[in-house]
Amino acid sequence: MVFADAAFAGYAPEARAAAVAAAAAHLDARHVLLPDTAVGGGDLGRRLAVMLGDRAAGDVRRIAKDRIVRRGGGGRSDFEMAPPRILLVANEAADPVVDDRYEARAVDVTPYEAAPRIEDGGLAATDPNAVPLAEADFIVSAGNGIADWEAFHTAAAALGATEGGSRVVCDAGLLPRFRQVGASGTLVEPRCYLALGIAGAPQHLQGIQRCERVVAVNTDLYADMVKRADLSIIHDAQEVMPALARLAREKRHGA
């Protein structure tokens, strides 16, 4: 769906849920599939389920005609069940569509009414480093491949990201312990995780399993972090960091 009306501007979850409910009723949809993301689909799907008096299945990994498999038990077990109407689908459930083309046609939806109980007060500036790692939306993380720490802090600030680090970095005292990402540190699930000079130890990779997107910057094409990443830049992080900071500043100032 495209939420183009002014009623959907800013944070308007109730209006969006009401619009999806109206579209589902108009199309007589048996199921509604949404991405199970930290912001957007997951919140919208759960609100929609309450609005429809139904329930939502989260972290759905596989979908068949009359059965689904969802992750549960704190992420340790898979459960097979009959599909409820609202399905919140994990990224791993389907491969990206690349070559196929589909047509989407606009349909008229019966007007809906939703008395808002939430008023969007707008965006408030906050220090990204005041956000706990477990709650951060964007994390820039440093590994043993980082030598220029001033450039790292500058890049993270320019990108508006929360700083993180590998165990090696925190053991060396280059970042405080509460910045450590991994099974022996903090398990994170940001929308974007930028790994600078991190080889990808098993315990670190365990800590970023639920990240929506991982970007790796590394000189080693065969590093485990590069294998894990959705996008990799095979280059020295010392040169990439100032370039990222410069691009972020140019975009912010409309250059």
Q: Between the ranges 4-8, 24-28, 223-227, where is the mean pLDDT highest?
A: 223-227
- The chain-wide mean pLDDT, for the chain, equals 89
| Position with higher pLDDT, 138 vs 71 | 138
Domains of the chain: 6-93 (3.40.50.620), 128-252 (3.40.50.1220)
What percent of the chain shows pLDDT beyond 90? Answer: 59
Closest alpha carbon to 141 in 114, 104, 180: 180
Determine the pLDDT at residue 255: 57
- Please report where in the chains the tokens 């991994």 appear, as a residue: 182
pLDDT class of 113 with cuts at 50, 70, 90: low
Where is average pLDDT lowest: 101-110, 124-133, 234-243?
101-110
221 secondary structure, DSSP code: T
pTM for the complete prediction?
A: 0.61
Which residue in this structure is represented by tokens 């480093």? 129
At 25 the three-state DSSP class reads helix
* pLDDT tens string 29-67: 899 999 988 667 888 999 899 988 888 999 999 998 889
Top-confidence residue, 95 or 143: 143
Between the ranges 4-8, 103-107, 175-179, where is the mean pLDDT highest?
175-179
Contact by Cβ (8 Å): 56, 45? yes
Mean pLDDT, rounded, for 11-33: 86
Q: What share of the chain is helix, strand, coil (3-state, %, to 5)?
A: 35, 20, 45
Asked whether 192 and 128 are in contact (CB, 8 A), the reply is: no
Q: Which residues pair with 70 in a beta bridge?
A: 60, 79
Containing H/E element for 13?
Answer: helix 13-27
Name which of 104, 140, 157 is nearest 217 in CA terms: 140
pLDDT digits (tens, 9 = 90+) for 163-222: 999 999 999 999 999 999 999 999 999 999 999 999 999 999 999 999 999 999 999 999
> Does residue 24 or residue 162 have the better pLDDT?
162
User: What whole-number distance in Å separates Cα of residue 188 and Cα of residue 178?
Assistant: 12
State how far the Cα of 118 lies from the Cα of 87, in Å rounded to an integer.
25
